[in-house]
Amino acid sequence: MKIAVAGTGYVGLVTGVCLASKGYRVTCVDVDEEKVKIMQEGVSPIYEPGLSELMMESMENLTFTTDYAEAYKDAEVIFVGVGTPEKSDGSANLTYVYQVAKQIAQSADRDCVVVIKSTVPIGTNDKLESYIHDKQKNKDIKIYIASNPEFLAQGTAVRDTLHASRIVIGTEEEYPKQVLLKVYEKFEAPKLTVGRRSAEMVKYASNDFLALKISYVNEIANLCETVGADVEEVTKGMGLDPRIGNRFLNAGIGYGGSCFPKDTKALSWLARFNDKEIRTVRAAIEVNESQKFKLVKKAKKYYDDFLFLNIAILGCTFKPGTDDLREAPSLVNVPLLLEDGAHLRIWDPVGMENFRKRIGEKNICYCNTIEEALEDADLCLIFTEWDEVKKLDVRKYKELMKRPIVLDGRNCYPLERFENTGITYGSVGRRTVNDIN
């Protein structure tokens, strides 16, 4: 079976590499010539644990090209994994999806199944089917459209694809369903076959439910601080209930990344567009935006302003295991601190170069080690729960900082590690240890 994949971002490249690892001949298409050259040398252009190694192992089954016509003309299955970025009104931008659809319609020269992995609003597959048929150059062939949403998370994308929690296949005809079941026969995962619109909705409903769970527990955490409860004890009790489960119950400074922020806004927009309102999703969005500023608000307890303060920032990315900055709390907090006159010392193991490109270097020192970032700092803010942060000897905070005040937005440490250390340690939803006010 000859497979083509449109787009080599997180979804497209991971999909292509994982299919190649199962023995399929896969051609990955991208418009960026430099990116394609890098991949032709067996180098992954994105940071994703395990991807580079699997890519090197599967190179004999992988082809990378900018020539979409050659890739699509005789492909039996074409996966579409291009971006659907957020528009200013919160809706999904489908420009790239339709560009690929047009290319397929003009290039395909045999019956094929076009599989939409990109996250698209409900009803998009139906519209794409009509669009492709209208633009189709060869009217003697049949181009089928199927929905196959991805459920991978950055940092665990390879594992999430090879060992998926479920594979959802949305079709309106028997042929594309059987083709996709054949494609995925080597993947050990529950396979759910549904209609296309249901498949599209599964993606949004799943991501938005997880976002709801995160925002809910963050509101519980904020209340815990006020009433004297410990959110970690509370969520442990909640998680033991099998109806709730213990995942996505970690309090912090909000979700970020390429999926949750975009997908919550897109579903909220879609509901309003259809004269509906998903109030719970709207509330989750509002809670998350406010939660991002939790640490700066806490810091105001210790400093009236940040003028000329040396502030250590540990972690730039929205989560560990990725260099992705999309919707990361650091992106809104760092400019705020800089506007207030702070001098920042920033450390992140993989995300600093991306951050430097976004924010610049004025009043920022980019540090190679956590210790370098902490040197002579008046305040430390933890935005990402990297293992290096979790494993740090907490005595370093007192040894290196001018004033050891550590505000942790990801609850990286047990409270007892700071008892009797002289280090002020504040986190989310828990009491502050060695509070100096």
Q: Which residues are catalytic?
A: 259
Is the distance from CB of 312 to CB of 374 less than 8 angstroms?
yes
Among residues 63, 27, 24, which one has the least CA distance to residue 42? 63
Q: Quick check: 234 and 224 in contact, CB under 8 A?
A: yes
Q: Which two tokens stand for residue 76?
A: 């039996």
Residues 6+ apart with CB under 8 A from 138: 108, 109
For residue 185, give both structure tokens: 């026969």
Among candidate residues 333, 262, 208, the one with its CA nearest the CA of residue 10 = 262
Which residues face 78 on adjacent strands? 4, 114
For helices 279-291 and 196-227, the axis angle rounded to 10 degrees is 50
Are the CB atoms for 157 and 13 separated by under 8 Å? no
Residue 86, classed as helix, strand or coil, is strand
| DSSP code at position 378 | S
Closest CA to 348 of 377, 310, 376, 382: 382
Q: Measure Cα distances from 282 to 200, 218, 277, 287 in Å.
A: 20, 15, 8, 9
Mapped onto helix, strand or coil, the DSSP state of residue 37 is: helix
Distance CA 357, CA 366 (A): 12
Q: What torsion do the CA atoms of 293, 318, 330, 96 make, to the nearest 10 degrees?
A: -110
